Structure 1
Amino acid sequence: MASLVRAPPLLFPATARHTATVIFVHGLGDTGHGWAGAVENWRRRQRLDEVKFILPHAPSIPITCNWGMKMPGWYDIHTIDGNAESLRRNEDEAGILQSQAYFHELIQKEIDAGIPPERIVLGGFSQGGAISIFSGLTSKVKLAGIVALSSYLLLSLKFSDLVPKPEFNKETPIFMGHGDSDKVVNTELGKMSYEMLKGMGYNVTMKIYKDMGHSACLEEMDDVEAFLRERLPPLGDNNAKSEL
């Protein structure tokens, strides 16, 4: 597959000493700017000060369900009709694997910059959450956590064949959130993905939000913040002292 033109991610540096990184991935047709407001809200609350946020921008690619017109996407989607089986058919495996490689590269860049993988969380919304589950669980380093909002398991029919052996993220906590009125990524597909991951032995929890469609709500954003704070607690000057 030809190389894609990618804009550099939107970055929110840590406001205190940088000890952790969150890579948060937008959905189809969006950009990293679409989730800047959530990061800015967490910044105002001063609860994730040691965390650097990376908000990547998807390349513009032809999307089949958009009559082949180009739009920001992490992989092609053939059908969005609310059917739980539709997204599992005709999956763009080549596109998924190309995005997977990109996210593994972003993770490695943070590691190269001195952030240990167990202080890195990968997460996202819709397509971004789906590629986060896939890229996170197939990573060859152990991550702090994975967040998947209004999402589903990619390449689920062959997923177990695609994870590394041994698996580095079998125990990594995964938080899945989904609206009970989602007509885009059907709620049942989200639940089915959760059950599949649970059945494969992953450390996954799921919360369903009442009357929420294919979007996010304040309660969900608070739950994501709580998950990030639990997985990436502030280190203060502990590391600095040990380095002296």
Structure 2
Amino acid sequence: MTLPAVEHETAANPRYSIIWLHGLGADGNDFAPIVPELVDPAWPPIRFVFPHAPVRPVTINNGMSMRAWYDIAAFDLDARQDEAGMRASIGEVETLIAREHSRGVPSERIVLAGFSQGGAIALAAGLRHPEKLAGIIALSTYLPLHAAFAGERSAANATTPIFWGHGTADPVVILQRGVDSRDLLLSQGYALEWHTYPMAHAVCAEEIGDLRHWLTQRLS
């Protein structure tokens, strides 16, 4: 079963797909309004796919059930990572990628994007994906499952471009957490473009502008 998703095609017969994963407690509608702000009319036709994460109890929110890519046990994001939940969500992303293949969009024309824990899954899935992707967008996030990363990363995506945006005043995924993940990826030779913005756990207009510029280079 493929996760339900909000979809938006910028024109008929999309040549590229951008699969965009929302943050904790949101759903696929959260980033759908970004499309008109982000898209350059000169780009080729794109299918945006905004999947809804499964509903699950989230420990840090008193066990309340909400849409989440994995459970979070504590504010210290290293504390008892929900490895089973993360790996299940990586599998969900693989299913979404396979559906794009079936609709005529190969991996090298697919961008994985995500915000917060959606960004964590975009990174974890994208850097393990066995075929080269067009790019990975990581917003206000961190690299999960990092202990297993060196042994599981895919050679096919060793040079895949990564856009990383992070708020300097982020109280949820603190800036240092992003910096540590960035440094780990740079030490492994990844082509990572790093941006910080004077914001909290959010997305801002300047970031969307930088992202538009970065995507223009990927969508040629």
TM-score normalised to structure 2 length: 0.95
Distance 1:205 1:13 in 2: 27
Question: Match of 2:10?
Answer: 14
Alpha-carbon offset, residue 227 of structure 1: 1.7
Aligned residues: 220
8 Å CA contact 2:2–2:92 kept in 1: the answer is no
SS of residue in 1 equivalent to 2:7? strand
Unaligned runs of 5+ in 1: 81-85, 234-244
Q: How far is the alpha carbon of 1:46 from its aligned partner?
A: 2.4
- How far off is 1:17 after superposition? 3.7
The whole-number CA distance in structure 1 between the counterparts of 2:188 and 2:159 is: 11
Match of 2:27 in 1: 31
Q: Does 1:221 align with 2:208?
A: yes
Once the 2 structures are TM-superposed, how far is the Cα of residue 12 of structure 1 from its aligned partner?
0.4
Deviation at 1:116, TM superposition (A): 1.9
Higher strand share: 2
1:181 aligns with 2:169: yes
- 1:54 equivalent to 2:49? Answer yes
Give the Å deviation of 1:99.
0.3
Bigger mean CA deviation after superposition, 139-148 or 10-19: 10-19
Tell me by how many angstroms 1:38 deviates: 0.3
Give the Cα separation in 2 of the matches to 1:153 and 1:223: 21
| Deviations, residues 57-91 of structure 1 (Å, cap 9, x unaligned) | 011101010111111100001112xxxxx112200
- 1:74-93 alignment runs, 5 A limit: 74-80=69-75, 86-93=76-83
C-alpha distance in 1, partners of 2:43/2:66? 32
Q: CA RMSD in A?
A: 1.5
Cα deviation, residue 47, structure 1: 4.2
- Structure 2, unaligned stretches of length 5 or more? none
Name 2:145's counterpart in structure 1: 155
- State which drifts further: 102-111 or 154-163: 154-163
Distance (Å, rounded) in 2 between the aligned partners of 1:38 and 1:99: 23
Name the aligned partner's letter for residue 96 of structure 2: L
Contact 1:20–1:52 (Cα < 8 Å) also in 2: yes
1:100 aligns with 2:95: no
The SS at the match of 2:178 is helix
Partner of 1:118: 108
Q: Which SS does the other structure have where 1:88 is aligned? A: coil
Are 2:165 and 1:169 equivalent residues in the alignment? no
1:126 positional shift = 0.4
Q: 1:48, 1:128 → 2: CA distance?
A: 25
Deviation at 1:6, TM superposition (A): 7.1
Conserved 8 A contact 1:6-1:59: no
Residue 126 of structure 2 is matched in structure 1 by 136
Give the whole-Å Cα distance in 1 for the aligned partners of 2:204 and 2:189.
29
1:236 corresponding residue in structure 2: none
TM-score computed with the length of structure 1 as normaliser: 0.86
